[in-house]
């Protein structure tokens, strides 16, 4: 599933295509994308709108429109965007929506598993929608070590599950949680509220470093993810633990192990990640 670095990569590549452009035609062919709202109603509402800005919160892409409304796009498991000159998009059985722009570009949304969502929200609804779902952004300057410590305080959940909870910290998923915990030398099963001051400081640095590395390498391409420009991400070559069961730890040598925490596969080094 695309996480913060993947969605941020999508944002950076699609923003120059969408920003300042006016949507001249919109087609949404999958009712699951917009339900419970009829796809034609959303498509009609988009036509004539000019895109002011493409923003991101957590794993949500926020397409801010001149009318004040925002198209909130969540890629979920396998959603992706692609752009091409008008009429030049490749044939694709998994295309769920297409936007035509007055700049001579087409933007396609494809989704194999069909869990992705498009929601068109009024200005009054956006803030409560996001604040009900998302904690702070981990890469902004105000996300300090002290802030992470406050969020973890009293939490009995394993630190792995704590990191995955979007209402605590926005944008972290399975890959970057495992990579951050390896970097911080913390066992994923440790209760978040029992981490010491030094461990929290290490986790704060590690989480930001892992996410920044992901953004720098344009995300990780596993199965379906590809960037709007059609190129794969490169982060998957840099994994220290994620998906590396049985391979040697890059730091201390023994085989990486896999366990299940909160229903999610979790990879860690049994020696250098303190339990």
Among 148, 163, 169, 249, binds Zn ion (CB under 5 A): 249
Record the tokens describing residue 104, joined without a space. 């001579």
Query: Per-residue x/- mask for Zn ion, residues 207 to 246, rule CB under 5 A?
Result: ----------------------------------------
Give the bridge partners for 79, in sequence order: 111
Q: Which range binds Zn ion by CB under 5 A, 57-65, 150-158, 187-195, 267-275?
A: 267-275
Rounded Cα–Cα distance for residues 235 and 195 (Å):
28
Closer residue to Zn ion (CB): 163 or 269: 269
Q: Are 50 and 65 in contact (CB under 8 A)?
A: yes
Q: State yes or no: residue 146 binds Zn ion (CB under 5 A).
A: no
How buried is 74 (Cβ within 10 angstroms: 0-12 exposed, 13-18 middle, 19+ buried)? middle
The half-sphere exposure of 57 on its side-chain side, counting CA atoms within 13 A, is: 19
Rounded Cα–Cα distance for residues 37 and 115 (Å):
15
Q: Which helix (H) or strand (E) holds 101?
A: strand 95-101
Binding residues with Zn ion: total (CB under 5 A): 6
Closer residue to Zn ion (CB): 57 or 240: 240
3-state secondary structure of 248: strand
Closer residue to Zn ion (CB): 121 or 272: 272
- Active-site positions read 2-3, 59, 264
Closer residue to Zn ion (CB): 203 or 269: 269
As measured in angstroms, the least distance from the Cβ of 242 to Zn ion is 14
Closer residue to Zn ion (CB): 33 or 249: 249
Q: Which range binds Zn ion by CB under 5 A, 74-82, 166-174, 238-246, 261-269?
A: 261-269
Q: State yes or no: residue 255 binds Zn ion (CB under 5 A).
A: no
Among 41, 47, 146, 252, binds Zn ion (CB under 5 A): 252
Q: Are 266 and 163 in contact (CB under 8 A)?
A: no
Among 112, 149, 157, 272, binds Zn ion (CB under 5 A): 272
Among 71, 97, 164, 269, binds Zn ion (CB under 5 A): 269
As measured in angstroms, the least distance from the Cβ of 251 to Zn ion is 5
- In sequence order, which ranges of 35-169 are alpha helices (DSSP H)? 39-46, 123-133, 145-152, 159-164
Give the total residue count for the chain: 275
Record the tokens describing residue 21, joined without a space. 């452009």
As measured in angstroms, the least distance from the Cβ of 199 to Zn ion is 16
Q: Are 47 and 101 in contact (CB under 8 A)?
A: no
Site residues (CB under 5 A) for Zn ion?
249, 251-252, 269, 271-272
């Amino acid at each position: 599933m695309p996480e913060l670095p993947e969605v941020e990569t999508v944002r950076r590549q699609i923003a120059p295509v969408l920003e300042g452009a006016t949507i001249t035609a919109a087609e949404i062919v999958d009712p699951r994308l917009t339900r419970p709202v009829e796809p034609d109603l959303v498509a009609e509402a988009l036509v004539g709108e000019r895109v002011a800005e493409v923003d991101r919160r957590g794993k949500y892409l926020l397409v801010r429109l001149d009318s004040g409304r925002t198209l909130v796009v969540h890629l979920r498991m396998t959603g992706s965007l692609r752009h091409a000159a008008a009429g030049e998009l490749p044939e694709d059985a998994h295309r769920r929506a297409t936007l035509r722009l007055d700049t001579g570009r087409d933007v396609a949304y494809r989704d194999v598993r069909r869990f992705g969502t498009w929601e068109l929200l009024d200005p009054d609804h956006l803030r409560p929608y996001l604040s009900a779902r998302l904690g702070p952004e981990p890469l902004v300057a105000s996300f300090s070590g002290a802030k992470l410590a406050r969020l973890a305080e009293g939490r009995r959940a394993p630190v792995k599950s704590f990191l995955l909870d979007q209402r605590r910290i926005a944008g972290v998923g399975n890959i970057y949680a495992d990579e951050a915990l390896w970097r911080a030398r913390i066992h994923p099963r440790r209760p978040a509220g029992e981490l010491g001051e030094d461990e929290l400081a290490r986790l704060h640095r590690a989480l930001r470093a892992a996410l920044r590395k992901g953004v720098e390498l344009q995300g990780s391409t596993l199965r379906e993810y590809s960037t709007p420009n059609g190129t794969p991400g490169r982060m998957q070559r840099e994994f220290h633990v994620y998906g590396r069961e049985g391979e040697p730890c890059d730091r201390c040598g023994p085989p990486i192990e896999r366990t299940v925490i909160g229903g999610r596969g979790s990879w860690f080094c049994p020696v250098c990640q303190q339990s």
